[in-house]
Amino acid sequence: MLALMGGLLVLVTIYLLIKQYETRMVLFCSGLAMALLAFNPMAAFKAFSEAMHESRVFEPIIAVMGFSMVMKVTECDKHLIHLLAKALRRAGPFLIPGATVATLAVNTSITSAAGCSAAVGAILIPLLMSAGVYPAVAASAVFAGTYAAMLNPGFAQVIIISDVAKASPMTVIANHSKVVMLCGLIGAFSLALVAYLRKEHKGYVPEGKKAAEAVAEFTVNPLKAMVPVLPLAILLLGSTGAVSAFRQLGISHAMIIGVFVGFLVTRKNPATLSKEFWHGAGDAFGHVFGIITCALVFVGGMTAIGLVKALIDAMIANPQIAKVSSAFGPFVLGVMSGSGDAAAVAFNKTVTVNAAHFGLSPMNMGSAAAIGGALGRTMSPVAGGAIICAGLAGVNPLEIPKRNGPGMLIAGAVCMLLLLYL
């Protein structure tokens, strides 16, 4: 009976998330309500306290967000985007998929989907439109590339997976990197095909000054353009043993080195850079870590009311359910709510920890859930990034899933096949 009541509360929670109520409030209150129904309110409070002690999770997340804010204030991210935009001008028939791939590259360092959409979209969307690409396709091309944060070792979802799988973040990335890149190419070229079939790949005539001219006038500083990817390069060289001195550097250390290099290259006021770094750290705690904490309270409530045990028992009896739900459960919620984060965190903290019972690898199962949630969000009209891209292109956000949908569905199926069946 209690598990049934918990199931009803979960459905109410999903409905409230779809209706765009504040994510942290909904998750926390739902978890507390389930704990109260189970006459165990301390289960929710203990889950909150335990989340606050997750320093292994917290440290890399705040470092990445702090570094991202420094890249914004130094405009190093702008130099990287313009460098990619200049290359896109010569992409010819590969202009549309090239824009998606360029966004994927930027998203590895600007891990916020909304932040990446704003930074990249402001440059690439007008550039695509000036090249004759229709506005809805231009917006879709940028938004289709906003899930490569899964290749950043400090990204919250990667840290959660590494914690559940008891592996390093670089090991997690090495395990799913080919899947993420393949999904990116599927999304990019599927969109190009949709644009071709709809005859929206050329022929649009924009008003005003061409964005291509603005890109041509911008002078790219190669050193500034390289700073956003420097921490990732340090971590990659260290994890592969190519540079033994980098092996002992953690994620946060690489990000701090990136901040100092950003200062040396740009000579911005160091006080300003310090403020922006900690501004980003605060945003990470309030938003990213806040969602993780409230998701864990939600999980604590589900555990107290017996829903987690019932769910695990059902999946043990039917392992195929676990495989399908791990990818497409977060995917569907990502589409409906515009955020795959909460669903992926809750799934990985409740189900993925028991992956061995289903005959699955926790790392593969965790990655399938996180990537599935990100793919679903990337075809959601209510996601923050979609609204930003649509606004920059001057179209209705509902036009984006019409073009991104086919590619994201195919990519989701491929992700599940490669991580859970092969």
Distance CA 110, CA 239 (A): 21
pTM over 0.85: yes
Long-range contacts formed by 17-24: CB under 8 A, 24+ apart: 17/333, 17/336, 17/337, 17/339, 17/342, 18/336, 18/337, 20/337, 20/338, 20/382, 23/291, 23/294, 23/337, 23/339, 23/342, 24/290, 24/291, 24/293, 24/294
Q: Which residue has the tokens 């992700």?
A: 415
Q: Which helix (H) or strand (E) holds 405?
A: helix 399-416
Whole-number Å distance between alpha carbons of 377 and 380: 5
Contact 303/42 with Cβ under 8 angstroms? no
Q: Hey, CA dihedral for 313, 316, 318, 320, is it positive or negative?
A: positive
Q: What is the pLDDT of residues 242-279, one digit of tens each?
A: 888 898 888 899 999 999 999 999 999 999 999 999 99
Q: Which of 330, 371, 407, 375 is nearest to 173 (CA)?
A: 371
Cα separation, 385 vs 377, whole angstroms: 9
Beta carbons of 389 and 400 less than 8 angstroms apart: yes
Residue 35 above 90 pLDDT? yes
The two tokens of residue 175 are 């395990």
CA dist., res. 352 & res. 334, Å (int): 18
The first and second tokens of residue 25, run together, are: 């409030």
Which residue range forms the structural domain that includes residue 281?
Answer: 2-421
Q: Given a cut of 90, is residue 327 above it in pLDDT?
A: no
* Token digits of residue 381: 């009209």
Lowest mean pLDDT across 16-25, 189-198, 211-220, 402-411: 211-220
User: How many structural domains compose the chain?
Assistant: 1
In angstroms and rounded to an integer, the radius of gyration of the C-alpha atoms of the chain is 21
Count of positions (residues) in the chain:
422
Q: What is the pLDDT of residues 76-131, one digit of tens each?
A: 999 999 999 888 888 888 999 999 999 999 999 888 888 899 999 999 999 999 88
* pLDDT at 148 > cutoff 90: yes
DSSP tally for the chain: helices H, then strands E: 22, 0
Range in 24-28, 229-233, 245-249, 335-339 with the lowest mean pLDDT: 335-339
Q: Supply φ then ψ for residue 149, to 5 degrees.
A: -60, -20
pLDDT of 315 above 90: no
The answer to whether 100 touches 245, Cβ cutoff 8 Å, is: no
- Kindly tell me if the per-residue pLDDT of 222 is higher than 90: yes
pLDDT confidence of residue 235: 92
pLDDT tens digits along 55-79: 677 788 889 989 999 999 999 999 9
How many angstroms separate the CA atoms of 321 and 331, rounded? Answer: 15
- Of the ranges 79-93, 321-335, 399-413, the best mean pLDDT one: 399-413
Q: What is the pLDDT of residue 262?
A: 95
